[in-house]
A and B are shown apart, each in its own frame.
Chain A
Amino acid sequence: DSGVTQTPKHLITATGQRVTLRCSPRSGDLSVYWYQQSLDQGLQFLIQYYNGEERAKGNILERFSAQQFPDLHSELNLSSLELGDSALYFCASRPGWLAGELFFGEGSRLTVL
């Protein structure tokens, strides 16, 4: 158990819908990262937050957005869902911005039908 909690574990929805994935980082970790693992793109970095502020962006679509709340949990919002958004979405956390091991959650598996 990495200490990073992601909910829901599985989610099935239809095209055009909107979903929210939630991540609770390890206690004390200020940095939260979101990664997407899909069959065709592999594991890709989406976005990073540190203590509530966005710090880095990767290949995140405009239809996706994220935020980190004062209690440090984070949410990834995916809207206007397409079939190709079906993937495993991982959250990871670590104590600081530039140091420390990344601890990954078990992921939220999104299926878009």
Chain B
Amino acid sequence: GEDVEQSLFLSVREGDSSVINCTYTDSSSTYLYWYKQEPGAGLQLLTYIFSNMDMKQDQRLTVLLNKKDKHLSLRIADTQTGDSAIYFCAESIGSSNTGKLIFGQGTTLQVKP
């Protein structure tokens, strides 16, 4: 079945870049997402990438997609303490954007001052 995997923990120093990696299994996925969850809060969509793109940049965020290897990454430039949160990678199931998402386990990003 469909599966999304991420590393569980990443620790960086403030000002460094953070790279969070994700692998997925559904090759027909057309949309791949990155969500952020802060303590006690809901899921906030950070960015998404369409499957025919290799890269998407949005301010401090860069998403890279390697469709051949089914690998997705999120790079956060100049990481700040406010970026400390859990980051979820998610793939949309199937070739339509139905909103039915498979999430990874989440990567806890710890930013040290």
Per-residue interface assignment for chain A, residues 27 to 57, with 1 indicating a CB less than 8 Å from any chain B CB and 0 otherwise: 0000101010000001111001000000110
| A98 with B97: CB separation less than 8 A | yes
| A48 with B42: CB separation less than 8 A | no
> Given A104-B44, A106-B42, is A92 in contact with B99 using a C-beta cutoff of 8 Å?
yes
| B41 with A56: CB separation less than 8 A | no
B102 within 8 A of A: yes
B77 within 8 A of A: no
| B44 with A102: CB separation less than 8 A | no
The interface residues of chain B lying within 8 Å CB-to-CB of A101 are: 45, 48
| A104 with B105: CB separation less than 8 A | no
The interface residues of chain B lying within 8 Å CB-to-CB of A98 are: 96-99
Chain A count of residues within 8 A CB distance of the other chain: 26
A-contacting residues, B68-99, CB 8 Å: 88, 90, 96-99
A-contacting residues, B33-86, CB 8 Å: 35, 40-45, 48
Assembled-state Cα–Cα distance A106/B90 (Å): 18
B13 within 8 A of A: no
Could you say which interface size class chain B belongs to?
20 to 34
B101 within 8 A of A: yes
CB-CB nearest in chain A for B101: A45
Assembled-state Cα–Cα distance A90/B90 (Å): 15
Closest 9 pairs between A and B when the two form their complex, measured CB to CB: A43-B103, A104-B42, A104-B43, A106-B42, A42-B105, A45-B100, A56-B100, A98-B97, A105-B42
14 other A-B residue contacts (CB within 8 Å) besides A98-B97, A104-B42: A4-B42, A35-B101, A45-B100, A45-B101, A45-B102, A48-B99, A58-B100, A90-B42, A92-B43, A97-B98, A101-B48, A102-B99, A104-B35, A105-B42
Chain A contact residues, CB within 8 Å of chain B: 2, 4, 31, 33, 35, 42-45, 48, 55-56, 58, 90, 92, 94, 97-99, 101-107
